[in-house]
């Protein structure tokens, strides 16, 4: 009697599914993510000291420009990048909290939905905090606080900088936790744009040209700032000497 290898097709299908990769994040979103992250890290590390002031200001302006791009792209860009998707996740918070209150056991709680909600909250907080951070930074750099006196604007700027750092750390912790719980690297799609698994691409066009344009724009802005700074980006502008006595008197 011939033995039919009934498991071979299933194994082959499993291997095919494992090697399949779907595009879920387009190139402009990935470029925004990493440029935004690098700008914040650089701005935070250069927040103290006049020697780094021009570089700090440049990175702060870069963050503001990237945020403006994200808002525009989230309004008129492709469906998968729309801010409305983020809003819909956040709008599900009341329903999720009600389901938690009505659950009779921990196992009955929709934890996966809660994980997605927590990630959406972190992302929304990251974007929201940048607005007062950059405004207070611009104001402190241009001596707006002199109108009322004191260093209140610099202190406000420092507060929002620390708040953004806290949210960034929470965001990283959530990514690490979800990667462990789901046994899949949740940060990888922001590098490759793809996830493993069979099915259609969620993103139909990668738009690599737009990502390249973003990078060129950021580099061109940095070059312009370098050219205009009296001693380059690693020295304070001549007009900022009055700020030397301030702690965290920086601009984002």
Query: 157-193 pLDDT, tens per residue?
Result: 999 999 999 999 999 999 998 889 888 888 888 988 8
Q: Which residue has the higher pLDDT, 214 or 200?
A: 214
Evaluate if residue 155 carries a pLDDT over 50: yes
Beta-carbon contacts of residue 161 (< 8 Å; ≥ 6 apart):
43, 44, 47, 133, 248, 252
Q: Which residue has the higher pLDDT, 203 or 245?
A: 203
Cα gap 153→146, rounded to integer Å: 9
Cα gap 178→189, rounded to integer Å: 13
The structural domains of the chain, with segments of one domain joined by +, span 25-78+207-234, 90-189
* Three-state secondary structure call for residue 234: coil
Phi, psi of 9 (to 5 degrees): -60, -40
Evaluate if residue 217 carries a pLDDT over 70: yes
CB 143 within 8 A of CB 241: no
The string of pLDDT tens digits covering residues 59-70 is: 999 999 999 999
Q: What pTM was computed for the model?
A: 0.78
Rounded to the nearest integer, the mean pLDDT of the chain is 81
CB 189 within 8 A of CB 80: no
The mean per-residue pLDDT over the stretch 37-56 comes to 90
Phi, psi of 94 (to 5 degrees): -60, -45
The string of pLDDT tens digits covering residues 80-114 is: 889 998 898 888 888 878 888 878 777 777 777 77
The mean per-residue pLDDT over the stretch 49-68 comes to 91
Band of pLDDT at residue 210, cut at 50, 70 and 90: very high
Q: What angle do CA 164, 177, 204 make, to 5 degrees?
A: 80
Phi, psi of 232 (to 5 degrees): 85, 180
Confidence at residue 234, expressed as pLDDT on a 0 to 100 scale: 64
Band of pLDDT at residue 216, cut at 50, 70 and 90: very high
Report the share of the chain in percent with pLDDT over 90: 40
Confidence at residue 19, expressed as pLDDT on a 0 to 100 scale: 54
Confidence at residue 238, expressed as pLDDT on a 0 to 100 scale: 43
The mean per-residue pLDDT over the stretch 126-140 comes to 92
Beta-carbon contacts of residue 205 (< 8 Å; ≥ 6 apart):
26, 78
Beta-carbon contacts of residue 63 (< 8 Å; ≥ 6 apart):
36, 39, 40, 43, 130, 133, 134, 252
Evaluate if residue 241 carries a pLDDT over 80: no
Evaluate if residue 249 carries a pLDDT over 60: no
Phi, psi of 46 (to 5 degrees): -105, 20
* Three-state secondary structure call for residue 89: helix
Cα gap 134→157, rounded to integer Å: 8
Sign of the Cα torsion 46, 48, 54, 60 reads positive
| Residue that has been written with the tokens 């190139």 in this structure | 27
């Amino acid at each position: 009697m011939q033995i039919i290898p009934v498991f071979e097709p299933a194994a082959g299908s499993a291997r095919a599914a494992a090697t399949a990769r779907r595009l879920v994040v387009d190139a402009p979103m990935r470029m925004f993510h990493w440029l935004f992250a690098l700008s914040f890290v650089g701005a935070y590390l250069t927040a103290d000291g006049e020697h780094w002031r021009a570089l700090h200001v440049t990175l702060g302006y870069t963050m503001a420009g990237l945020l403006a791009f994200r808002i525009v792209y989230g309004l008129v860009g492709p469906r998968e990048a729309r801010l409305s998707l983020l809003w819909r996740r956040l709008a599900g918070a009341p329903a999720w909290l009600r389901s938690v209150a009505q659950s009779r056991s921990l196992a009955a709680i929709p934890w996966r939905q809660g994980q997605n909600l927590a990630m959406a909250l972190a992302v929304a907080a990251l974007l929201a905090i940048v607005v007062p951070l950059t405004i207070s930074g611009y104001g402190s750099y241009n001596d707006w606080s002199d109108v009322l006196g004191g260093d209140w604007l610099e202190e406000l700027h420092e507060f929002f900088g620390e708040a953004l750092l806290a949210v960034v750390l929470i965001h990283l912790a959530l990514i690490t936790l979800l990667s462990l719980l789901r046994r899949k690297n949740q940060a990888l799609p922001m590098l490759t744009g793809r996830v493993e698994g069979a099915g259609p691409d969620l993103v139909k066009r990668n738009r690599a040209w737009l990502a390249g344009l973003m990078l060129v724009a950021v580099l061109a802005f940095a070059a312009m700032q370098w050219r205009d700074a009296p001693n380059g980006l690693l020295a304070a502008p001549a007009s900022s000497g009055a700020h030397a006595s301030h702690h965290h008197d920086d601009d984002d």
